[in-house]
Amino acid sequence: MRVEPAPAPLGYWSRALAVLRQVSGMPDYQRYLAHMAERHGGCPVLSEREFFDQYVNARYGNGASRCC
C-alpha cells in the first residue's frame, strides 16, 4: 500500500492498450488508479502486483462463466 499521485492523461497508444485490455478482460491498472484518484483521493492504493492478484482472483476465482 502506498499513496499514488493522480495519473497523467492518456495518449493514443495507452488508450489503444486500454481498449485491448478491457475487451479481453485483463486488469487495467491505470483505470483503477484513475478511479481511486477521482473517488477516493488521498487513500492508499494497491501496487500493480497486488491489483493484478486481486483482479485475476475476482474474475477467475469462481470459475469464469463463458460460453461454448
Q: Which spans of this chain sit near other proteins (rule: CB under 8 A)?
A: 17, 19-27, 29, 31-32, 35-36, 39, 48-49, 51-68
Residue 8 or residue 16: which is nearer to other proteins going by CB? 16
- Which cell numbers in the block locate residue 4? 499514488
Nearest CA-CA partner of 44 in 16, 11, 5, 13: 5
Number of Cβ atoms within 10 Å of the Cβ of 47: 12
Residue 8 or residue 24: which is nearer to other proteins going by CB? 24
Which parts of 1-68 fold into alpha helices (H)? 12-23, 29-39, 48-60
Q: How far is the CB of 30 from other proteins (least distance, A)?
A: 10
Q: How far is the CB of 1 from other proteins (least distance, A)?
A: 15
Residue 8 or residue 66: which is nearer to other proteins going by CB? 66
